[in-house]
Amino acid sequence: AQTVTQSQPEMSVQEAETVTLSCTYDTSESDYYLFWYKQPPSRQMILVIRQEAYKQQNATENRFSVNFQKAAKSFSLKISDSQLGDAAMYFCAYRPTQGGSEKLVFGKGTKLTVNP
């Protein structure tokens, strides 16, 4: 079974600094999607960034970028120029592209605090 591990329950960063959140996963599939979701205090889940496993290029969305290491099964999220609004729970998630399952497998989350 696929699993997603986020080894950092909590992280903190100073405003305007850079922080990296870690995520590893376990799968025997060769093709899949990886996601980072943000859940602020409002508890609305927001998609931050998506990575297709077949793409070697790391995904980037403005201040958010990933370091995708397929062989190591690692998918870290880098937040640059951190802002107070980035404070939230961040969940890493995995989804295979084949096999008919559309279910997301979530990690346990990392709580990010941004200090002014």
Residues in contact with another protein by CB under 8 A are: 33, 35, 37, 42-47, 50, 91, 95, 97, 102-104, 106-109
Considering the complex, state which of residue 40 and residue 69 has its C-beta at the smaller distance from another protein. Answer: 40
Query: What's the min distance (Å) between Cβ of 29 and another protein?
Result: 14
Query: What's the min distance (Å) between Cβ of 93 and another protein?
Result: 8
Query: What's the min distance (Å) between Cβ of 108 and another protein?
Result: 5
Q: What is the CA radius of gyration of the chain?
A: 14
Helices and strands of the chain, counted as H and E runs: 0, 12
Cβ–Cβ under 8 Å, residues 76 and 67: yes
Considering the complex, state which of residue 63 and residue 103 has its C-beta at the smaller distance from another protein. Answer: 103
Considering the complex, state which of residue 63 and residue 108 has its C-beta at the smaller distance from another protein. Answer: 108
Considering the complex, state which of residue 16 and residue 104 has its C-beta at the smaller distance from another protein. Answer: 104
Question: Which residues, listed in sequence order, are joined to residue 20 by a DSSP beta bridge?
Answer: 78
| Strands 10-14 and 64-69, bridge-based pairing | unpaired
